Amino acid sequence: MEQIMRNFFLFLSNNKPLTKAAKKYGFRFGASRFVAGVDINGAAEKIKELNDKGFEVTVDHLGEFIDNEEEARQSTEECIHAIKVIAEKDLNAQLSLKLTSLGMDISYELVMGNMRRILQTGKEYGVIVTIDMEDYERTEQTLTIFKSLRQEFDNLGTVLQAYLYRVEEDLDALNEFNPYLRLVKGAYKESEKVAFPNKQDVDENYKKIIKKNLLNGNYTAVATHDDDIIAYTKELEKTHAIPRDQFEFQMLYGIRIELQERLIEAGYKVRVYMPYGDDWFGYNMRRLAERPANVAFVLKGIFKK
């Protein structure tokens, strides 16, 4: 049943008509649980609240299915604006973004130009920018762009997904760049030809790449809500004397808040992934797919309205 629900929500996340309708309809279906607001100023208030509790943040301006240069330009301007707001308000926050929102599906020149503008702004204001990973068909191009830009900018990180067979090879290929990497299980529906179909295999591969990246001496963001993965990372820290300034735990805004607080109390760095914007539908559906327990919170929100 859980797998059926996962597939259902992943199917919805890729539905363009529903995405467009959701933007017009506004925050419904539990969006406010996972999304911090419609603009960066609203999100900034929540970032400050989290900072005051000891959390660090990465913000993501949501955008799905951008297919023209004007929308890509607008998304770029929003990213630049977000960096400036982070700096002006002295927030402990970074920026995350998707290359498709900046025109990757339109042209290489367009996305590279937009990324350079964002990274230059981030460099000026001391803000790190992380390229989110998308579906498998965009993995190679995303990593090619990362490698190219990483030679120009130090304030750049990216994401690797443990459910892909290729991930260990990608980790090896990136090692020469001394990368800032966020390691995740993966949130897209992929073919068994390219991704592990079984959770146990994904978990084992996830542990393998966490260990490898930490022992390579690279900064590692372990993005998970899985108690077993968190315990495994803590054990690596003890066994290999890994300093706590070499890694952090990352968790999604609005999910397992008590666990986040316990990690902070234990002295670990925790960064909250905080999305904002009106293009929330695809993101929201993927969160429901990842954790069916979230559906209960969404239903409560609907019936309260």
CB 221 within 8 A of CB 160: no
Count of CB atoms within 10 A of residue 204's CB?
12
Residues 6+ apart with CB under 8 A from 94: 56, 57, 58, 59, 86, 127, 128, 129, 130, 271
Catalytic residue among 6, 150, 182, 271: 182
User: Measured between alpha carbons, how far apart are the two ends of the chain, in Å?
Assistant: 28
CB 88 within 8 A of CB 80: no
CB 65 within 8 A of CB 21: no
Cα–Cα distance measured from residue 154 to residue 152, given in angstroms and rounded to the nearest whole number: 7
Instruction: Name the β-bridge partners of 25.
Output: none
CA–CA–CA angle 127, 129, 131 (5° rounding): 175
Catalytic residue among 60, 132, 278, 279: 132
- Taking the C-alpha atoms of 101, 102, 108 and 109 in order, what is their torsion angle to the nearest 10 degrees? 160
**Is 182 considered catalytic here?**
yes
Amino acid residing at 117: R
**Is 150 considered catalytic here?**
no
Cα–Cα distance measured from residue 16 to residue 21, given in angstroms and rounded to the nearest whole number: 9
Residues 6+ apart with CB under 8 A from 196: 163, 164, 165, 202, 205
CA–CA–CA angle 189, 194, 197 (5° rounding): 60
Cα–Cα nearest to 126, from 159, 163, 86, 96? 86
Active site residues: 132, 182
